[in-house]
């Protein structure tokens, strides 16, 4: 395909997407304008009340956890894609305790698995603090009414008449389901499939390997990664389009305000993540990996 053909196809594709999106928005608005749907929206506005005793606001530890999780997940996704596409690894890593070269893996895979361990530790700390501080009530559905309210919120998003909520106090029901799925379903799936494919898994456990074959883990692990990518894209987009300064203050500055503090902390976090992305190359990783094992070709 020539450059001219590629540009033409891209323009047509973009116009088709815009046209389809416009049709979806207009049809959704017409649908929500029906009397029966107006009654539905009145009954299910898009969010459910929190349980009694639910905390108000987001603590500072949650902001730190949020940053560290983003930092790790971005590098995990990048290194995971490198592992899938890498043909000739720049170097290999062998653990110190291994005998006869056992446990030898590529430097890229070592980096990926090291990040995974940090991500798991961070996740465990997050879950413990979530339940210890009562913040779990904000991200765990406590009523079946979350389902119709999530449908309501989804339709409001599709109509571009977005649900009005204050994330400092309560999330809308679609957000609750998305956060619950990410924390308690997608993250554990990523962990158990990742462990199955890693060098930590006992290779000689015949019965265990038959019950939980590595092929199943591979078939699930990649789609879970795609879910995380989609979640991040949608999450960041909505954060920026639904009151960026206020949302960034919630997440990064632990305050319900419209100032610029959260924004600048967010910018600083992006700089740190970008620096780590650039630094994550063999010349930097090899000396670090060498502290825990032998690096060579």
- The per-residue pLDDT for 9 is 79
- The per-residue pLDDT for 224 is 94
Q: Residue 262 has which token pair? A: 């959260």
- The per-residue pLDDT for 98 is 66
Q: Which class does domain 33-296 fall in?
A: mainly alpha
- The per-residue pLDDT for 70 is 94
- The per-residue pLDDT for 76 is 94
- The per-residue pLDDT for 105 is 82
With a cut of 70, list the residues of the chain below it in pLDDT. Answer: 1, 98-102
The predicted-structure confidence for 26-52, as pLDDT tens digits, reads as follows 999 999 999 999 999 999 999 999 998
């Amino acid at each position: 395909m020539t450059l001219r053909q590629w540009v033409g196809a891209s323009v047509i594709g973009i116009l088709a997407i815009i046209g389809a999106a416009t049709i979806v928005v207009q049809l959704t608005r017409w649908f929500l304008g029906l009397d029966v749907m107006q009654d539905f929206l009145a009954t299910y506005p898009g969010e459910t009340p929190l349980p009694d005793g639910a905390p108000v606001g987001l603590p500072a530890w949650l902001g730190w956890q949020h940053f560290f999780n983003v930092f790790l997940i971005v590098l995990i996704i990048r290194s995971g894609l490198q592992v899938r596409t890498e043909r000739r690894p720049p170097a290999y890593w062998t653990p110190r305790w291994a005998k006869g070269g056992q446990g030898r893996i590529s430097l890229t895979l070592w980096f990926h698995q090291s990040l995974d361990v940090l991500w798991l530790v961070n996740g465990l700390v997050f879950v413990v603090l979530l339940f210890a501080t009562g913040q779990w009530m904000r991200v765990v559905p406590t009523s079946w009414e979350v389902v119709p309210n999530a449908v309501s919120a989804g339709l409001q998003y599709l109509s571009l008449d977005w649900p009005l909520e204050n994330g400092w106090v309560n999330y809308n029901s679609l957000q609750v389901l998305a956060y619950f799925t990410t924390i308690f379903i997608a993250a554990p799936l990523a962990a158990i499939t990742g462990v199955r494919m890693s060098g930590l898994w006992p290779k000689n456990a015949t019965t265990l390997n038959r019950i939980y074959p590595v092929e199943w883990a591979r078939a699930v692990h990649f789609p879970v990664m795609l879910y995380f990518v989609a979640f991040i894209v949608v999450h960041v987009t909505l954060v920026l389009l639904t009151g960026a300064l206020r949302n960034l203050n919630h997440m990064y500055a632990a305050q319900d305000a419209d100032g610029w503090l959260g924004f600048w902390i967010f910018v600083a976090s992006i700089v740190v993540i970008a620096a780590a992305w650039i630094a994550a190359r063999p010349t930097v990783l090899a000396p670090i990996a060498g502290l825990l094992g032998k690096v060579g070709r």
